[in-house]
Amino acid sequence: QVQLVESGGGVVQPGKSLRLSCAAAGFTFSNYAMYWVRQAPGKGLEWVAVISYDGSNRDYADSVRGRFTISRDNPKNTLYLQMNSLRGEDTAVYYCARDRTPARNYNYYGMDVWGQGATVTVSS
Amino acid sequence: DIQMTQSPSSLSASVGDRVTITCRASQTISSFLNWYQKKPGKAPRLLISAASSLQSGVPSRFSGSESGPDFTLTISSLQPEDFATYYCLQSYTTPLTFGGGTKVEIK
């Protein structure tokens, strides 16, 4: 069935790096834009980054721009989030999610399928 | 950036009540508006897309509508499993922005 499984979360010191992965299954990964969304403890949902179906178009929230990089490997059906220069305010559950439309364009329609989440804790 | 102002931030209701949640967009977003349900420890669940399209498998007591900059999620008869936090999301342009959330609690 359609499934997204995140991995790579953990506890990391401020200033260090971490890479999250998201393995996709059950759909044609290369047809869909993909997202990272996070939820800090006690806070609401926050969009982090998006990447187009072919990886040619990427965008980021201002809070992570220049520190985080979203990428994808379509032959491996995997989405990534490289997180550098981590801060305490990056502590959150990170979800990967699929765009709801296999549009193969550069418009975004929001998320339909979500992973179970990966917990990232930034603490010394 | 487009701001999504969601109200109320919380509400208390009883089983069987009709519940309405609103998001107001600071700029035009056409119908690029989705509604999500979020329960603790669970991934968000897409309820409504494109302002008013009910997702497959979502009970018909959920509905969405739009009027100008205002978007509304209605639960016609609240059920025990509906107690959760609800978020709107605009995807008209980046940065994509969520509303602040509405926590629906048991009265």
**pLDDT value at residue A106:** 87
Which of A102, A80, A88 minimizes the C-alpha distance to A32? A102
Q: What is the largest CA-CA distance in chain B?
A: 38
From chain A, pick out residues whose CB is under 8 angstroms from the CB of B55.
Answer: 112
Q: Give the gap in angstroms from C-alpha B94 to the nearest C-alpha of chain A.
A: 7
CB atoms within 10 A of CB A109: 19
Q: Identify which of B26, B13, B23 has the alpha carbon closest to the alpha carbon of residue B76.
A: B13
Per-residue pLDDT tens for A10-62?
Answer: 999 999 999 999 999 999 999 999 999 999 999 999 999 999 999 999 999 99
Q: Do A46 and B34 touch (CB under 8 A)?
A: no
Number of other residues whose CB lies within 10 A of the CB of residue B103: 14
pLDDT at B106 over 90: no
The reported pLDDT for the residue numbered B53 is: 98
Tens digit of pLDDT for each residue in B10-45? 999 999 999 999 999 999 999 999 999 999 999 999
Strand partners, A69: A82
Q: Please give the pLDDT value at position B59.
A: 98
> Does A73 have pLDDT greater than 90?
yes
* Binary contact (A44, B34; C-beta < 8 A): no
pLDDT tens column, B52-74:
999 999 999 999 999 999 999 99
A46, closest residue in chain B (CA to CA): B98
Predicted local confidence at residue A104, as pLDDT: 81
- Contacts (Cβ under 8 Å, ≥6 apart) of B98: A44, A45, A46, A47, B4, B87, B88, B89
Are the Cβ atoms of A45 and B43 closer than 8 angstroms? Answer: no
